[in-house]
Amino acid sequence: MAAAVASLYRRVLPSPPAVDFASPEGKRLFAEALAAGTMEGFFPLVSCFQTQSEPAFCGLASLAVVLNALSIDPGRRWKGPWRWFDESMLDCCEPLDKVKAEGITFGKVACLARCSGANVQSFRANRATIDDLRRHLVRCVSSQDCHLIASYHRQAFKQTGTGHFSPVGGYHAGQDMALILDVARFKYPPHWVPLQLLWEAMNMTDDSTGLLRGFMLISRKTAAPSSLYTVSCRDENWKSMAKYCAEDLPNLLKGENLDNVQTLLSRLIESLPAEAEALIKWVVEVRRKEEGGPSLSKEEKERLFLKENVLQQVRDTRLFAIVHDQQNANNPCCNCSSSSEEDSLTRIAAAVCCQGAAMLSGNLVSRHGFCCKETCLKCIQANGDGLKTVISASVVSEGNEQGVDMLLPMSSPSASSCNSNLKNNIVKYPSSADVLTVLLLALHPSTWLGIKDEKLKAEFQTLVSTDNLPDDLKHEIMHLRRQLYYLKACKEKEECEDADLPSPK
């Protein structure tokens, strides 16, 4: 029989070297740093501060605090109608069960920050100096536009435990001390530490990777986030796609008898991995049914308008027209009114409504266990903005039934009220042709340099060029290209090092 483990309520903070934030000395340091202007970053951080919910979630909690402090919109719901970063939503680079059991590495936290829509600069201790740390820290704590997350070993501070992540909330220049906002508040309170000791704590090796720890700077992106399409990095789809892009596609492009765009696209479509479409996800808005009929808020209308605009711009490209025609040529049984598209729309509607019901019920990990009992289309009056189409569904879980509505981009003005026969309602929504078009545009331009026929190469490069795309679509494509690039880099290297990553543009 295993020995019982004694329960603990906090630990005594070893002081020195640390100074408790709430102590008289800690208050004095705070007041002096505030007067000196090096506590500006503290206020947004403390406004969003949280305690890590699992002993190994320090990296996830630190990142959630910083993302919320920067007012970065996750673009998906946390609970109810609220969009807010929570540890449970930070699962795209590493499964939560694995993080819970083993913790998370420095590189994976950086990858998570990028996937969540932030700009990241990461610095291993062997690629920076204490002067670099001090300079970057002063910049971050003197503004509210950038925050620093430290990855360090507690041993340097005579604390129990090993590797840890926490945001740094302030700096006292006179005594060269940094304020650690420890996310393990059940263990130690926020505390001031000498910057020299923090630097030494970063210069300790992470046994799981054999690499030194360090620090990263997290800030908001200046570019707008994705509005309609995003990369799904929560599963293994990228592995097969990375192999396809790095090995299979170059070999395909060097093949013989590729003398026109149609032949090239036909070969490309036939050789795509089954997971290709699942890699690019359609960003949707799911909302609960309201008594008396649903209506759209101003924010929802703006987001839906952006989705519609981007989708239409994709379909206005010459590349989309060729891809659409080629797909129909490869599979003549598929057309705009076929039962296969009806089944596809029904399947998409059911899957997304189940996912929405899972989010609304607080189940953020899986939509399994939710069954879509009924799916239908209906029109709604959007606060004087004309008719919009939603897919309405009844979702059952554990005997409980709830209604979920899904907003459809590019609603058809002629779509009728609830009708179980979706084929009779022609609704424009992201199809496989849309996704393939977006994927081709998002691949790096160097992808197509292997085409042997120079005339064909020039023609295809013109088709996939982003130079003349409308601004909204161009932003969408560049966002996807960055996501694909960093995801590929992280999958290949396991640890994303900014110093090793050239520009994805």
Residues designated catalytic: 58, 164, 182
In the numeric block, which tokens belong to residue 8? 């603990």
CA distance 99 to 80: 26
CA distance 390 to 407: 5
Beta strands per DSSP E along 362-497: 371-381, 387-397, 400-407
| C-alpha distances in Å from residue 256, one per residue of 206, 246, 252, 342 | 49, 19, 9, 37
Name the residue among 207, 182, 213 with its Cα closest to residue 61.
182
How far from chain centre, in Å, is Cα 101? 22
The helix (run of H) or strand (run of E) holding residue 192 is strand 191-194
Strand-pairing partners, residue 194, are 177
CA distance 370 to 354: 6
289 class by beta-carbon count within 10 Å (0-12 exposed, 13-18 middle, 19+ buried): middle
CA distance 320 to 434: 7
CA distance 354 to 376: 14
Q: Sign of torsion, CA 415 421 424 426?
A: positive
Q: Residue 70 in contact with residue 220, Cβ under 8 Å?
A: yes
In the numeric block, which tokens belong to residue 186? 């059940």
The CB density around residue 183, as the number of other CB atoms within 10 Å, is 28
Beta carbons within 8 Å of 37's beta carbon, 6+ residues apart: 142
Give the DSSP per-residue string, 141-172.
HTSSSEEEEEEEEGGGGT-SSSEEEEEEEEEE
- Which residue is associated with the tokens 């900014």? 498
How far from chain centre, in Å, is Cα 475? 16
Name the residue among 253, 134, 144 with its Cα closest to residue 195.
134
In the numeric block, which tokens belong to residue 442? 């998002």
CA distance 489 to 36: 40
